[in-house]
A and B are shown apart, each in its own frame.
Chain A
């Protein structure tokens, strides 16, 4: 069965950096695009970034452009999100999700990022 497991969340000071990982299994990771989606406490879903199956196309939300970078290593079946210059408003649960060309069909359970001094 498809599994997506995020890791790398934690507490970081404003201006700091963090790298999130998402390990995929149960499907051919290298043939699917992947997303990061976040959810601030008590708030709705916010799309963060997308990467296509081979990493040649990357798109980032305006709110994170220039600070966050999505990437993947298909040899390790792993998706990444490098987050730099973190702000208090970046605090959220970060989900990775598999793209199905018809929506996001599988989601991980999320990893919590807290930005606080």
Chain B
């Protein structure tokens, strides 16, 4: 089955840039979606299809996907961005959906 690998944690100062990676074999051939989850809340879709933003998501959130790594970038980080972030893809070999283990973003 397809596996997604995320760095467990990232720390970033306010105003700086947070980079969250999601590794998978030939992940560039898949559409990657990213979710933000704050404590006690349901996940929220922040990037879909590698780099598109749903309505209402700030432009500070962006994504890319190349080779074996997809990346979520949060520019001008704010305290409110502190959350867990998960990448997700669909495994077309078995029609299963896969989440990465998540990355905890801490704003210093």
Contacts and interface: CB of A to CB of B under 8 A. Distances in A.
A13 to B, nearest CB: 27
Contact of A110 (B42, B45, B95): B42
Contacts of B37: 45
B23 interface: no
Given A45-B86, A107-B42, A108-B42, A102 B52 contact: yes
B101 A44 contact: yes
Contacts of B100: 44
B48 interface: yes
A61 B101 contact: no
Interface string B88-99: 100000111111
A97 B44 CA distance: 10
Contacts of B97: 35, 47, 50
Interface of B: 1, 31, 33, 35, 37, 41-45, 48-49, 52, 54, 84, 86, 88, 94-102
